[in-house]
Amino acid sequence: MTVSPATSAQETAIPHRKQIRGWLIPYSARSTPRAFWLSTFDLLLFSLLLWATIVAQPAWLKLVLAAVNGFVIGRLFVLGHDACHQSFTVHRRLNRWLGRVLMLPSLTTYSLWDVGHNVVHHGYTNLKDFDFVWQPKTLAEYQAMPRWRRVLERVYRSGWAPGLYYLVEMWWLRLYFPSRRQMPTRRRIFMLDSLLVSAAMLAWIVGLVIAARATQQSVAWLLVTGFVVPQLVWNSMIGFIVYVHHTHPDIVWYQDKLSWGRAQPFVSTTVHLRFDGWLDWGTLIHHINEHTAHHVDMTIPLYRLRKAQRVLEEKLPGHIVVQTFSWRWYFETARRCRLYDYALGRWIDYDGRPTGTPSLQQT
């Protein structure tokens, strides 16, 4: 089932956020023992897979282990993401330090992620020139780009390169020693956390070089399978997840803050992505796809999001975009969601032709 904002406008108005969050109070309790169990399990799994990659002999097996470890890095990041939201354990200081540790395998600078994600993305979800995560360009902005940048934009939104988008536009530009253009505010903690990530990266690479020489195997191949492939898989995973959570033919972006505020953006700008089949991918990635509940109340721990999401969908029928995943839907979304007409609130292609029905009234 997919429910569009256009349809929801005909339904009962969305209640005030305070009332909606009141429905979710029973699901906001945090458990420090449970947080420690989840963290310990995933950290041990990451370490075990890294060790197995080092000792495995067949080249193909190293690649398989490397890919799986990239997925586990994603799981660790989701735990760190919860800690950064202060929704993991009951202790604020513990959340900060645990979040830093859990985010190190993904090479994420904790304090920069805190500002970019908690303050900007959650504070201004899908508001143009504020929320920079997968923000669609207008036709005029696209046409003003140099040729190489237009090509890059097409690659990003082709459906084949969410990892490249995240690696370049998110990690390199904003989460690792960002320039003043990207992060005008300069804080000592940004530098310290970036140095911490650099130290972890260096230790990881040097450790693999030492291990390769000690076991008389190719240094280059072990670096590829022990470091490069897990990072590429992780970046592809997070780029894909963020894309499908906020890019959909029925999801609206805004350039006017007043219209954005009236639209109750904490409900209407996110997608609940469901996976059917024998393998529950939602559980495997710690329920991060129960995304509407997460945006309504960031204090809900990941291990209670599924129940919270169910409550929202029961109480707000017609207002939440729910999408069952398929590769056909995903690439159709990539085909339709290229540029955006903010005046009419609809997606357009690279020639300015509409690919969806207008969701906003012209003013």
In terms of Cα–Cα distance, which of 139, 132, 144, 80 is closest to 106?
Answer: 80
State residue 363's pLDDT score.
35
Question: Residues 3-28: pLDDT tens digits?
Answer: 444 444 444 678 888 888 899 999 99
Residues of 113-146 as b/e, b for ≥16 C-beta within 10 angstroms?
A: bbbbbeebbeebbbbbebbbbbebbbbeebeeee
- In sequence order, which residues have a C-beta less than 8 Å from that of residue 191 and are 6 or more positions away? 177
State residue 359's pLDDT score.
62
State residue 358's pLDDT score.
67
Question: Residues 151-184: pLDDT tens digits?
Answer: 999 999 999 999 999 999 999 999 999 988 888 8
State residue 277's pLDDT score.
72
Q: Across all residues in the chain, what is the average pLDDT? A: 91
Q: Could you report the average pLDDT of every consecutive run of 10 residues in the chain (363 residues)?
A: 43 78 91 96 98 96 98 97 95 96 97 93 92 95 97 96 96 92 88 96 98 96 98 97 93 90 83 80 85 91 93 88 93 96 93 79 38
Torsion of CA 62, 63, 64, 66, to 10 degrees: 80
Output the pTM of the full model. 0.91
State residue 210's pLDDT score.
97
- Beta-ladder partners of 273: 323
Please say whether the dihedral angle defined by the alpha carbons of residues 88, 92, 94 and 99, taken in this order, is positive or negative: positive
Domain boundaries, the chain: 5-348
State residue 6's pLDDT score.
41
DSSP label at 227? Answer: I
State residue 150's pLDDT score.
97
